[in-house]
Structure 1
Amino acid sequence: MRFFIVLVFLIFPFFLTDLVLIQTFNALNIFWFIFSTFMFIYIYINKDKEYESGFKDKYYKDIPSDKTPELLGYLMTGEAKERFFIASVFELIRKNVIKIAKSNKDYILVYNLKHRESLSKGEYYIIKWLFHLLGNDYEVPLSKIKEESKKNSGFFSFCFHEWANIIEVDAAQQNIFENKGSIFMDILVYFLISYVLAMYNAILTNNYILAILIGIGTSIFIIYTNSFKKRTKESNLEYEKWEAFKRYLKSSECTLNDMDSKEFLKIFVYSKVLKIEKNFKSIMKRSRERDDDQLFVAINLGIIDELDRAISRGIKYSEMATNIFFSKNKGVTQILRKRYNDNITFIYNKD
């Protein structure tokens, strides 16, 4: 049916006289503007505007859900961003899947095989990237990560985007956002008819200004329909709770300092996702005596900040090199030695 409509629209002008042609296109142009306005309103209300969650509280004092950092980030923004990748590395450290050691002036990330179960798809890829593609299957020095982002920027950027694609697929499988497939064919038909109308206005009626306006309007509309993402009802309720939880973490009512270490550190990881780690660190300063977890020790020693900077700069540099300059892609440059350095000291010895 849609194909038939497009076909009729393509051929019918050639069967009209000049006078009827101009009158017909004047009517079609008016109809197009009216239809486009109503279509925009319809799509906004039904496909873009978020559902009413019914959640009205200013603050939410408990962790709203147990989403992994990368999927929480996708829930909040609809993207797989660099800071979500970093938060996922922090989460692996919190879960002791990654242990931190020191060797001379370098820090070493060590893969702890005892805690490799129950990893998300995104976390599995991080392990693959850091230890099997960069490291020696067991460990990778921080200096190696910094070096790879510059000397092998193309491959570094490729790995980051592959991780991002995994997160997008995982999020789609969990139905965080609604599927726009139901309106795809309608948008395609609208696109074809609109550009044919613009072309006919220019060629058959010499109405170039109107043709340009229709072309611009259609382009804006297509960009809009490809840009929005609408959360499902359940996801939007979860999103509202996380926003309320974020407000709570930034408020004077926050009592995180009284929490046990396990929950405290879980929220620390989430604070990176929510982009409020600075607020969280102000609370952390009142808890510097805590050293009952590897992540606490790493935070207190400034290792987490150094790791954050190394990965963040590495991703940004590799992206810039790939998009602007000539990026280098040497493929996998895995360390072949059995161990990077036998003379290493773990910052926290308990599992």
Structure 2
Amino acid sequence: MLFIQHLIRLLAQKRNLTLLTLGVLAIILFFGLRPKTWPNINHAEWSPDTQGLMFHAPGFAYVDDLHTLHDRASDQSFSICLAVSSAKQLPGFRPILMFHNGSDESQLTIAQWETSIIVMNGNDYSYRLKLPRISSGDILLDGKPRYLGITTGDVGTQLFDNGTLIAEKKGLRLDIPTNEKKLRLILGNSPYGNHSWEGTLHYLAIYDKQLAPEEMAASCQLNDGIDRKNPLLLFTFLEGKGTEVQDQSGNDQPLLLPSRPMALKQTFLAPPWPNFTLSKTLLADIIINFLGFIPLGAALYARLRLSEAFSRWYPARATMIISFWISLSIEMAQGWLPNRSSTLLDLVLNTLGAILGVLVIKMSWNTMENMLSHANSATDLAK
């Protein structure tokens, strides 16, 4: 009983509760706004061992404006040749290459999913909407360079590996999105900067026509003596150093390597649909976001309950509103931070956690007060 009395006296001290609340808030702000990786540098680096550009989280490189693609029709034939080697099989959808004009619905992506290679338009990453795509499994296995080719046009879409046709869809025609103002090419990540791919890109060429199989086999090799038939964009990564990769096609579209991770596009309070997939990573994130705000709700409610500015019933409502606004502020700030995600689910979980903290302290406080009252009554009777 002495312990309960001491605890009540401790909680009844405004100074202690103020320090506790500020401490909890500082911890939440630190983990909510800090970069996921430290030091916060861009891990798109020149390979010291092979010709190419290595990507590790949070790696990122981009062409700011593909001006050679501004005037082309969206349904025009094209071919893409690239040589890649995967360093790690990260969970989920990992973009290797992405054409982005500001719209996720029209973007063109070449991505890795475990050992598979996927090429598609749009943002149906989890394949819940069953939007058209072409893919092949067991491609990115051993870390060795794979010479991949994608060609699309009137006869459909074909996917090549080391010059061999591995997938074909005759009814599928992929599109490079168009934009009269700006079309970006993003390598090793998404425009939001939070979907890092890990591997090495050794070679990349883009053509404004559908290459024949024999042309595709020749064009996707690293041999510098090959006639590459006037590509719209060509990166051979022969420089080996510097903050830019020169466009060898002569069209002056350099690949930029910023010193720090970037978010080329912001998203705020993204809903969990349509690509919601329950995974260990998501489950851990749900638990952390829910449990993390319980101490804030508990400490803030206890402090406001002792405040003369609030009646007995208003501290709970005020705590819920303040906790909601703290979480909302963090989520809005995360929308501007690379490799952080601003999601509606996090906001809901944070608020629910704070509400649970309020309920726990409210019930515990009432219980302790009742116990102390009974103890004092028993003491008076004993006298």
Query: Is this a same-fold pair by TM over 0.5?
Result: no
Using CA pairs below 8 Å that are at least 6 residues apart, which structure has the higher relative contact order?
1
- Identify the structure with the greater strand proportion: 2
- Identify the structure with the greater helix proportion: 1
